[in-house]
Amino acid sequence: MTHVVACLDGFDPEYLAATETPGWDRIADEGSGGTCEGLVPSLTNVNNVGIVTAAFPAENGLTGNTYYDPERDEQAFMNDPSHLRCETVLQRRAAAGETVAALVAKDKLVEMVGQDCEVAASAENPPDWLADAVGEPPGIYSGGASAWLLDAAVHLLDTRDLDALYVSTTDVIPHKHGPGEPAAEEWVREMDDGVAALAERGDALVATADHGMNHKSVCVDLDAALDREGLDAEVVRLITDEHTYHHQNLGGAAYVYLRDGDAADLDWLRDVDGVEEVLPTDEAAERFRLPADAVGDALVLGTESSVFGPVDDGVRGEVDLRSHGSHHEREVPYVTTTGATLEYNVDAFPALE
């Protein structure tokens, strides 16, 4: 029995609406499909780790691409397994004697989701035997990297006796191309072909996404806004990572750590244009199942069209990009051969049991 979970990075439901997807539709007809909720902050690693641990951040500990360490008073990338507070489903299955594999786009993610896997590889730096079999992967900033990952997953299913396989693609195309644009249509067709090929080979499959994607036109400088109010604070923009080509480190979610005072001092922030919600620690933890000890004094979420980042002069500026991070990119599509109904994308592995 081979269980396959495919996470199509940035596969917003609007892409499915804009392009014909016969493979996806057939799985939905014969099994089930629909939309489910991803995790907030709606970021790649948060959701990949959520899916692979089958757990919310409150349990698995992964709260963003970047975190703030108050004791050292510095921000750092949250991109290695030391940040995980629980085992992955793949680790538990490997410990039970099963053969498991994980294929992801980037090296840093493979360290977190590929622990104890017989095969744990990235498109960024694949082992020679995989590149020899599937071809050299296009660069991870190219549109072809996602199709290469699904091809590599098909190759593993064809050549190995796996009990479980996780494959996760990259969101460079949805960051750069909206639904219906030619490059997006090509990508959607490649994802559709790949998912159909996986469904043919696995005994049970869930395909879903980590987060959606929206066009962003407004940038709010939270540091400048807090400064203007005379508040000494650390703003952690949660999308911040080393892969800035995708999103320019502009996303719609931030944790705010106040050096003095508490979340009540941030009430005014709700009225700043481009800010949709300011959730104090306990509220954020409860609503999005986040660990209360790692989200600062408040979680700040943007509107559908806004991101948080530096503005040259003042608090509010204009941008033109596609990005994610807020609860507006939380809804994701799914299909499964099992007929199960998924409430959350983190239910993907449990839905196969």
Smallest separation (angstroms) from Zn ion to the CB of 244 = 14
Among 12, 14, 171, 192, binds Zn ion (CB under 5 A): 171
**C-alpha torsion sign, points 79, 113, 88, 95:** negative
What sign does the dihedral 290-296-301-307 (CA atoms) show?
Answer: negative
Q: Which of 21, 42, 44, 66 binds Zn ion (CB under 5 A)?
A: 44
Q: How many residues touch Zn ion (CB under 5 A)?
A: 5
Integer Cα distance of 2 and 159 in angstroms: 13
| Contact range with Zn ion by CB under 5 A, out of 42-50, 124-132, 145-153, 273-281 | 42-50
Token duo for residue 111: 């360290």
Work out whether 192 is an interface residue with Zn ion (CB under 5 A).
Answer: no
Q: Does 9 bind Zn ion (CB under 5 A)?
A: yes
Choose between 171 and 221: whose C-beta lies nearer to Zn ion: 171
Give the residue with the Cβ less far from Zn ion, 210 or 277.
Answer: 210
Least distance between Zn ion and beta carbon 308 (Å) = 17
CA distances from 117 to 7, 48, 196 (A): 17, 16, 24
- Taking CB under 5 A as the binding criterion, the range among 161-169, 170-178, 240-248, 307-315 that sits at the site for Zn ion is 170-178
Residue 101's beta-bridge partner residues?
119, 165
Closer residue to Zn ion, CB minimum distance, 12 or 210: 210
Q: For residues 145 and 139, give the distance between their C-alpha atoms in angstroms, rounded to a whole number.
A: 6
Closest C-alpha to 62, from 48, 41, 44, 83 = 83
Q: Residue written as tokens 């409150």?
A: 58
Alpha-carbon gap, residue 187 to 71, rounded angstroms: 44
Q: How far is the CB of 112 from Zn ion (least distance, A)?
A: 14
Q: Does 210 bind Zn ion (CB under 5 A)?
A: yes
| Binding region for Zn ion (CB under 5 A) | 9-10, 44, 171, 210
